[in-house]
Chain A
Amino acid sequence: GDSVTQMEGPVTLSEEAFLTINCTYTATGYPSLFWYVQYPGEGLQLLLKATKADDKGSNKGFEATYRKETTSFHLEKGSVQVSDSAVYFCALILGGSEKLVFGKGTKLTVNP
């Protein structure tokens, strides 16, 4: 079945460090890919998305590129801030599916 695998956390970084959270997927079709962020005690917010191969989603300094050849959608940020501390979820949705498939989430803690 369709699935998303993301690196397990927790990830702890110092402020201004470079961030990569790996995400790979398995899908029977051609999915759209998403990163959601969940700040402590809150719901999920859409961070960025990409709908076709080689698309790059970006928002708030975060980027992820849809790599069909490696079935990956790794999240990156060049310089993290304390305010980026949150849980990050990679997800996919297949066209016509109406349902998101989530990874298990990666908790990021950024220390000053």
Chain B
Amino acid sequence: SQTIHQWPATLVQPVGSPLSLECTVEGTSNPNLYWYRQAAGRGLQLLFYSVGIGQISSEVPQNLSASRPQDRQFILSSKKLLLSDSGFYLCARSRVGGNTIYFGEGSWLTVV
């Protein structure tokens, strides 16, 4: 099976602190990887996607960055968190050329 692991599942961070959310994928090589955010009362917003190691596309200007150091690893980071960074962050994957995207269980971030 093709599984997506995200961690941590929940975290509470103070404003101005750094962030690192990690996502790893099993069972598939060279996947497309995505980070989505779901803020309270809002829909799903695509933040970043990657079609390969070191290849990152940013969808919206923001306080966050992403990296893909290995084929099946996708990391979401921030140097200094803002209150507005609070939300539910979802990692997702798809096959290259595939038309279906699958999601992980998500990570809840609360910035206080």
Segment among B60-68, B74-82, B95-103 that sits at the interface with chain A: B95-103
Give A98 Cβ to nearest chain B Cβ, in Å. Answer: 5
Chain B contact residues: helix, strand, loop or mixed: strand
Indicate which residue in B42, B46, B51 contacts A100 across the interface (CB closer than 8 Å). B46
**Chain A residue contacts of B34, Cβ below 8 A:** 99
Contact A43-B44, Cβ < 8 Å, known A51-B99, A95-B99, A98-B51? no
- Is A43 a contact partner of B43 (Cβ separation < 8 A)? no
Indicate which residue in B46, B105, B106 contacts A99 across the interface (CB closer than 8 Å). B46
- Is A93 a contact partner of B99 (Cβ separation < 8 A)? yes
A7 to B32, CA, bound (A): 30
Range class of the A interface residue count: 20 to 34
**Chain B residue contacts of A45, Cβ below 8 A:** 103
A36 to B38, CA, bound (A): 14
Give A89 Cβ to nearest chain B Cβ, in Å. Answer: 7
- Is A43 a contact partner of B100 (Cβ separation < 8 A)? no
**Chain B residue contacts of A42, Cβ below 8 A:** 105-106
**Chain B residue contacts of A99, Cβ below 8 A:** 34, 46, 49, 59
Indicate which residue in A51, A100, A103, A105 contacts B101 across the interface (CB closer than 8 Å). A100
Indicate which residue in B49, B51, B94, B105 contacts A43 across the interface (CB closer than 8 Å). B105
**Chain A residue contacts of B87, Cβ below 8 A:** none
A32 within 8 A of B: yes
Give A88 Cβ to nearest chain B Cβ, in Å. Answer: 12
Chain B residues close to A by CB (< 8 Å):
32, 34, 42-44, 46, 49, 51, 59, 90, 92, 94, 99-106
A-B contact pairs, 13 of them (CB 8 A): A36-B103, A42-B105, A43-B90, A43-B103, A43-B105, A44-B92, A49-B100, A51-B99, A89-B43, A93-B101, A98-B94, A100-B101, A104-B42
19 further A-B contacts with Cβ under 8 Å, apart from A45-B103, A49-B100, are A32-B99, A34-B100, A42-B105, A43-B90, A43-B105, A44-B92, A44-B103, A46-B100, A46-B101, A46-B102, A93-B99, A95-B99, A98-B49, A98-B94, A99-B46, A100-B46, A100-B101, A105-B43, A105-B44
